Structure 1
Amino acid sequence: MTDNASKRTNSSNGTDRSDSASSDAQPCDLSLDVSELSVLVTDCAVAMFDPSGAISAWNDGARQLIGYDEETIVGSHYRTFFTADVRESGQPERLLERSRSTGSVESDGWRVRHDGSRFWAREVIIPVREDGTLAHDDGLEADDMLGYAWFVRDRTERHDREQKLSEEKAFVESVFQAQPDVVYAFDSDDNHLEWNDRVPAVTGYTEAELAEMNPLEFIAPEDRDQIEDVIQQVLEENEYVTAEADLLTKDGRRIPYEFNSARITDEDGTVLGFTGVGRNVSERNARERALREEKAFTESILEAQPDVLYAYDTDGNLIQWNDQFECATGYGPDELADVNPLTFIAPEDREHLGDAIERILEDGERVTAESRVLTRTGDRIPYEFNSARITDDDGTVLGFTGVGRDISERKARERELERLERLNAIIRTIDETMVAADTRDEIETAIVEEFAAADPYRFAVIGRTDPTSTIDQYSLDPVTWAGIDAPTIEDVFSSFVDPPADAGETSLFETRAVQRYRNLRESPVGEWRADAREHGYDSVAVVPIVATDRTFGALVVGADEPDAFADREREVLQEFGGTIGHAINAMVVRQLLYMDTVDELEFESTDRGDTCIRLSEGLDCELSLDHVLPLTDEVFVYYLTVTGAAPERIRDGVREDDAVTEFRLIDATGEESYWEIVVRGSAIAELLTEYGARLQSKIVRNGVGKLTVQASRDADLRELVDGITSAYPDTELVSKRTVDRPVETRGDFRNTVESLLTEKQRLALEAAYHGGYFEWPTRNSDATEVADRLGIARQTFHQHLRVALEKLLSAYFGTTN
């Protein structure tokens, strides 16, 4: 080492820092003493490199920091302290070259110790001149270099602190951006610190303009005093404040907003400023303007966010949440820290929600998923979760955050719609069965079996009215059931059809409307509660089976869910009960046509509520009601044969009758005429079908009507007579008798039709039928083709076919002897 170099090295108070960094060590022709540098720079690891980067000297600080003894490391290259991927990239050589060419280089990064562990290093590399001085100001030519001086400090703890601060900043920014509302933060001097992307989108200001604005500049002038007071409250008095004011945009628009603000404090409790969430309340204010004007401040002290807010790290630990999270789950803050997200999810939903979390973290998706939240008390609440990934500035995934919203009401509406769809599907299936059924037993069996087999329902029971019961006091007995054990049917059926006194419910017989009983497992009625728990149902509907004023029975249906049989389901069931009643009644009427023994009742009536009696009395003639065709529930077509009155008199008479809306003369021969009239109002023929009876004949002479009514042997004749005399008071029963009727078989009907047809008419009808003349919408054969096949003229074919059809229909409708 030269004398000049030694003098500079030994000068502890020299003004040139480079002079104080020389060394006496001479390996590889490097004469700067590393021990002397160590004395001057006590908090560093110091080493010397030769011009190629090989280590030539090593101090104790380097040994302690990096772990190599000097004997072990001397001669190794500087790249030894880098990870393999960095060594392959050539970074160590580039750092040395930059140091040589620029005079010095500073670098931060991970370095590797002797034991393989990593530390975050802050290093300085300075080239050394041939005279041993440090060339930290100017670069050197390779031929002028003695080597390099390397100074290293361990900055791992500082790096970890900075990294943690960076992660916390990334989390806060992610929460900001996840908010659908505007989010803001101001310091105590009203400087705008932070805002989310909704702020420029809503206000119209640029990022640069926002940075220079104070909070009151966003507020309409008339609201600024109020908001200024609110800010002071947040900073000085209350930790949380909610206020409403008009937000003033850059283009002058005023938007009503609700601001939920909270104080920002440091760890020592020093107030740093305030932050909050602003929500557009235009629609709400439109609905509740009067209330908003009376109550300008809506207090929301504990929560600015109405939904649950959460954040998890990549290990699945809960790291951030709001108070609503605690309210929703029932857990306290001490129990929530570091809890896995799936802990709060019902077991049956955990797999699909776990898949959603994986997509968020790995693919960066913004995911919306539904699942049931499992509370501390075991309740399951349906929630919708909207979640997004949290990343730092470098793109490192830190976890995910999101918002959860209670969707219980929406799910209830969806379940109601699903039940309604299933109910309609059940009814459609039953309707098909009722059309094809031959007996009431078939209808009732199909109903209870369909309901009991469907998912939302547990059981179904049908009871029939006792024929001996009075009109005012019905008695029901269960006759058909499914999904329930026979020993329990009587108790379950009767307790809901005629509720016990302590239930405080109205009987089905009083309302004739669908009755529903819900949440039965928690019912205050002991027998209902016990039976519901034992047999696994939670709701019951009692459906009256009726046709107009007649009650045929009741359908009792049990369901699994506590909120089944909502209003729309009740409406459908009410209509279905009427459908069943009319189907049973129609079946009774249809069976009446094929009975060989019936009860025949004869009535005499002068009741002017009957259109035929009014017309006969006014025209002083005889009317025969041949047929009644119902168009609607209140409009009927009468086909009448009138004797003893001229057509003109009949026209005048029916024109003056308020019940007749239309009329038409069909045919007139001699003293008889055949009419079609449209009558609005009740018709006795329609009334009879409601009681399982049919009008056999009705003849009215000069205002006195003779009616012959046929009913099945098991019909309630007392109820039938009461129904007729109630509708037409001036009517009385004249006689009752049992009549034996021959039952016409299918073969008998065929023989009757064949006896009416001539040979040519039969051939025309058969050729038309089998030749496809009646096919629709496209005929397989037209009249010319069929006529040619028969070898007759087209007009002759039409004549034979029309007469044959008339005879066939006459036989079917019973107008031919």
Structure 2
Amino acid sequence: MNDHPSNCTNGSDETGRATDTGDQSVDFNLGVRDLSDLVSDHAVALFDDEGRVAIWNEGARHLTGYDTDEIVGTHYRTLFPADDRDADRPERILERARSVGKAETEGWRLQSDGERFWAREVLAPIHEDDEVVGYAWFVNDRTEAYERERELRTEKALTESILAAQPDILYAYDAEGNLIEWNAQFQQVTGYDPDELAGMHPLTFIAPEDRDHIRDAIERILEEGERVTAEGRILTNDGARIPYEFNSARITDGDGEVLGFTGVGRNITDRKARERELERLERLNAIVRTIDETMVAAETRDEIETAVVEEFAAADAYRFAAIGRADAPATSPGYSWEPETWAGIDAADEHTEELLSTFIDPPPVADGASPFDTRAVQRYRHLDEQSVEAWRTHAREHDYGAVAVVPIVASDRPLGALVIAADEPSAFADREREVLREFGGTIGHAINAMTVRRLLYRDTAVELEFESSDRGDACIRLSDDLSCELSIDHVLPLTDRAFVYYLTTANADTERVREIARDDDAITDLRCIDAGDDECYWELVVRGSTIPDLLAEYGARLQSKTVRDGVADLTVQVSPDANLRELVDVITSAYPDTRLVSKQTVERPVETRGDFRRTVESMLTEKQRLALEAAYHGGYFEWPTRNSDAAEIAERLGIARQTFHQHLRVAQAKLLSAYFGSAD
């Protein structure tokens, strides 16, 4: 031991090597030297009390690459990477060995050529007379094992991260049906603790009504080796049912023995919801088509409304339906509603009637709005969870889960609302609402068109007379600025907010008419059709809000309109079924300088088909009738290809072609005059 000084009085260099060994040394126990010799094939070294190498065996030389002469006298820290030396890790290990009697560590150590190896080491203090006189260092090269463990850890971490990121559940069962492996998602979905899951049978997690076909699928996997896809609802620990699709395959060993099966389960809740929505949409479209066909044949508004509610109530997907008409109170804003036609529910019950009305005008806590305000379909889903207690109670009593409120609208004017109750809590998705919104417009259009038809064919009508000096009307402005008289002969709707007026002006200069019309933003087109000495017949296009536009919303017609020096007398005919009070309110609100002068019911003679035929025949001369009849039956009006031309028909009648054209044109004019009501 004296050949290897273990203490130094003159310090050391940066590597820990002694710069001067001096004459002092530590005489280590001979047994320690003998131990180093006995384990020469293992890395063993002895350090002095300051951690400098005193004895270095062959195993240490082989492991680190340091020869004895090269390493003896250097400090323990020489074997550590720079980061560890900067962090004083070698000193901390020595101190721990000194204080607790042994220090076991693992970490990177350096060989003489700078290469690293992973060391597992034990550092034990050597005592003499109760004082630490040195340390015994035992080290094992664990580089290969460490690299393998690190690879395994990396693979495990990768696998765990994949499984953790996997939204699907993973499972494995043995051949007896005991759960042996699962991922965290499986545990989270089912709601069981790990101790409970181990060994559980697969059917435990399946809703009872789905167990038979899942059992059959498992048997096919184990007995026939099929890869099976099956759907079933997972029954969770708290009783919830979640639809899943399972894809499973058999597990076998190298000899083909069946060990069990494994698979993946995917949550298909969204897919099932989309499928149900599509089914509901198809059923809804079928109902709408049936009702559309019925509305075409209906003769009254009651027939239309009855057909709508009965068709919905008869469908399996719906529980009941009710329709009420929009009523605009004279003294308050907004509309009131109460059910008038219903099916599938006793709406005559006072409590039910009040409850249905709350869907039209919902309470603030319901997070909804009146369809008369929004003109949009309002929906209330999952009614058994709704904050409105009356809705929850009624829905449970009558077994429905959702309600849609459909505005019935014509030309943006609410005519009423349809309330539909569906059995499914998630009914009335966005696409269903869009179909219902269009359907509400179809009902409104049918009701409006029926009002017009009833006005045309009924033998009585309500005649309203108005007087107006409101310059918001283009014709009144034109008469006022011209200081003339004009009369409206006909109004033709061009688009929703554009009308073609045919009118006659008396004692008005044509150029002055053009000038004033050109300066009026509402008049977009003007054409003089016929000009006489005192009167001119004009065609003009008026855009924007007009009185005919308002009348059309109520199925009313402008019968006559005469304006003298800016004061108009209007006669309007409307069906007795129309909401007269609302119509008058709309007109006087839009044109404040307008007042209702009179209201009366007038008789309107009903003209039959024979009456019309006799009227036309009385207007035609014999030659005009022959020309029209020959042209019609001879194929002259066939288009785009005619079966005969004018020359052929004229020759057949024994008249000149020009004469035939003259007779035909006059006959057509008389026929159209009879149809459009201007026989004069």
Fold in common (TM above 0.5): yes
The answer to whether the aligner puts 1:743 opposite 2:606 as a matched pair is: yes
Q: CA deviation at 1:668?
A: 2.7
- Of residues 389, 399, 404, the one that matches 2:265 is 404
Residues 710 and 349 from structure 1, CA distance in 2 versus in 1: closer, same or farther, beyond 3 angstroms?
Answer: same
- Of residues 586, 592, 604, the one that matches 1:723 is 586
What is the RMSD computed on CA atoms of the aligned residues?
A: 3.8
- Of residues 235, 240, 262, the one that matches 1:379 is 240
Q: Say if 2:378 and 2:404, in contact at 8 Å, map to a contact too.
A: yes
Residues 316 and 805 from structure 1, CA distance in 2 versus in 1: closer, same or farther, beyond 3 angstroms?
Answer: farther
Residues 327 and 573 from structure 1, CA distance in 2 versus in 1: closer, same or farther, beyond 3 angstroms?
Answer: same
Residues 713 and 401 from structure 1, CA distance in 2 versus in 1: closer, same or farther, beyond 3 angstroms?
Answer: same
Q: Tell me the alpha carbon deviations over residues 513-537 of structure 1, each in whole angstroms, 9 at most, x when there is no partner.
A: 4332221123343332222112111
- Of residues 581, 595, 609, the one that matches 2:472 is 609
- Of residues 441, 460, 483, the one that matches 2:344 is 483
Q: Tell me the alpha carbon deviations over residues 677-734 of structure 1, each in whole angstroms, 9 at most, x when there is no partner.
A: 2222112111012234221111222322221112333544332222112111222223
Q: Say if 2:328 and 2:582, in contact at 8 Å, map to a contact too.
A: no
Paired with 2:431 and 2:507, the residues of 1 have a C-alpha distance of 56
Q: CA deviation at 1:787?
A: 5.8
Paired with 1:468 and 1:625, the residues of 2 have a C-alpha distance of 33
Paired with 2:252 and 2:505, the residues of 1 have a C-alpha distance of 95
Q: Tell me the alpha carbon deviations over residues 129-185 of structure 1, each in whole angstroms, 9 at most, x when there is no partner.
A: xxxxxxxxxxxxxxxxxxxxxxxxxxxxxxxxxxxxxxxxxxxxxxxxxxxxxxxxx
The match for 2:96 is none
Q: Say if 2:168 and 2:264, in contact at 8 Å, map to a contact too.
A: yes
Paired with 1:665 and 1:618, the residues of 2 have a C-alpha distance of 18
The answer to whether the aligner puts 1:458 opposite 2:326 as a matched pair is: no
Paired with 2:549 and 2:611, the residues of 1 have a C-alpha distance of 29
Q: Tell me the alpha carbon deviations over residues 609-641 of structure 1, each in whole angstroms, 9 at most, x when there is no partner.
A: 211122222333332222222232222222222
Aligned residue for 2:325, secondary structure, equals strand
Paired with 2:499 and 2:219, the residues of 1 have a C-alpha distance of 70
Aligned residue for 1:682, secondary structure, equals coil
Q: Say if 2:451 and 2:577, in contact at 8 Å, map to a contact too.
A: no
Q: Tell me the alpha carbon deviations over residues 320-364 of structure 1, each in whole angstroms, 9 at most, x when there is no partner.
A: 321211222234445545555455344555566567667766887
- Of residues 425, 430, 438, the one that matches 1:562 is 425
Identity %: 73
1:118-157 alignment runs, 5 A limit: none
The match for 1:275 is 155
Paired with 1:522 and 1:629, the residues of 2 have a C-alpha distance of 53
Q: Say if 1:646 and 1:671, in contact at 8 Å, map to a contact too.
A: no
Residues 657 and 505 from structure 1, CA distance in 2 versus in 1: closer, same or farther, beyond 3 angstroms?
Answer: closer
- Of residues 387, 395, 403, the one that matches 1:540 is 403
1:153-172 alignment runs, 5 A limit: none
Aligned length: 532
Bigger relative CO (Cα 8 Å, ≥ 6 apart): 2
Aligned residue for 1:631, secondary structure, equals strand
The match for 1:191 is none
The match for 1:671 is 534
1:529-678 alignment runs, 5 A limit: 529-548=392-411, 550-678=413-541
Unaligned runs of 5+ in 2: 1-104, 106-148
Residues 317 and 743 from structure 1, CA distance in 2 versus in 1: closer, same or farther, beyond 3 angstroms?
Answer: same
Q: CA deviation at 1:642?
A: 2.5
- Of residues 677, 688, 697, the one that matches 2:560 is 697
Residues 385 and 764 from structure 1, CA distance in 2 versus in 1: closer, same or farther, beyond 3 angstroms?
Answer: farther
Q: Say if 2:319 and 2:423, in contact at 8 Å, map to a contact too.
A: yes
Aligned residue for 2:554, secondary structure, equals coil
- Of residues 302, 314, 338, the one that matches 1:441 is 302
Paired with 1:470 and 1:335, the residues of 2 have a C-alpha distance of 69
Q: Say if 2:408 and 2:414, in contact at 8 Å, map to a contact too.
A: yes
TM-score, scaled to structure 1? 0.58
Residues 722 and 272 from structure 1, CA distance in 2 versus in 1: closer, same or farther, beyond 3 angstroms?
Answer: closer
Residues 323 and 468 from structure 1, CA distance in 2 versus in 1: closer, same or farther, beyond 3 angstroms?
Answer: closer
- Of residues 319, 332, 344, the one that matches 2:205 is 344
- Of residues 303, 315, 321, the one that matches 2:182 is 321
Paired with 1:492 and 1:745, the residues of 2 have a C-alpha distance of 48
Amino acid in structure 2 at the alignment position of 1:672: E
The match for 1:526 is 389
Paired with 2:226 and 2:628, the residues of 1 have a C-alpha distance of 73
- Of residues 509, 515, 519, the one that matches 2:378 is 515
Paired with 1:400 and 1:731, the residues of 2 have a C-alpha distance of 85
Amino acid in structure 1 at the alignment position of 2:168: D
Unaligned runs of 5+ in 1: 1-235, 237-268, 280-298
Query: Which moves more between the two structures, 439-448 or 313-322?
Result: 313-322
Q: CA deviation at 1:646?
A: 3.8
The match for 2:171 is 310
Paired with 1:277 and 1:802, the residues of 2 have a C-alpha distance of 94
The match for 1:688 is 551
Q: Tell me the alpha carbon deviations over residues 234-274 of structure 1, each in whole angstroms, 9 at most, x when there is no partner.
A: xx9xxxxxxxxxxxxxxxxxxxxxxxxxxxxxxxx999645
Paired with 2:206 and 2:664, the residues of 1 have a C-alpha distance of 76
The answer to whether the aligner puts 1:416 opposite 2:296 as a matched pair is: no
Aligned residue for 2:155, secondary structure, equals strand
Q: CA deviation at 1:649?
A: 3.0
Paired with 2:270 and 2:469, the residues of 1 have a C-alpha distance of 61
Q: CA deviation at 1:564?
A: 1.7
Aligned residue for 1:744, secondary structure, equals coil
Q: Say if 2:328 and 2:334, in contact at 8 Å, map to a contact too.
A: no
Paired with 2:452 and 2:477, the residues of 1 have a C-alpha distance of 28
Paired with 2:311 and 2:525, the residues of 1 have a C-alpha distance of 45
Aligned residue for 1:404, secondary structure, equals strand
Q: Say if 1:607 and 1:729, in contact at 8 Å, map to a contact too.
A: yes
Q: Say if 1:277 and 1:304, in contact at 8 Å, map to a contact too.
A: no
Q: Say if 2:625 and 2:667, in contact at 8 Å, map to a contact too.
A: yes
Residues 794 and 451 from structure 1, CA distance in 2 versus in 1: closer, same or farther, beyond 3 angstroms?
Answer: farther
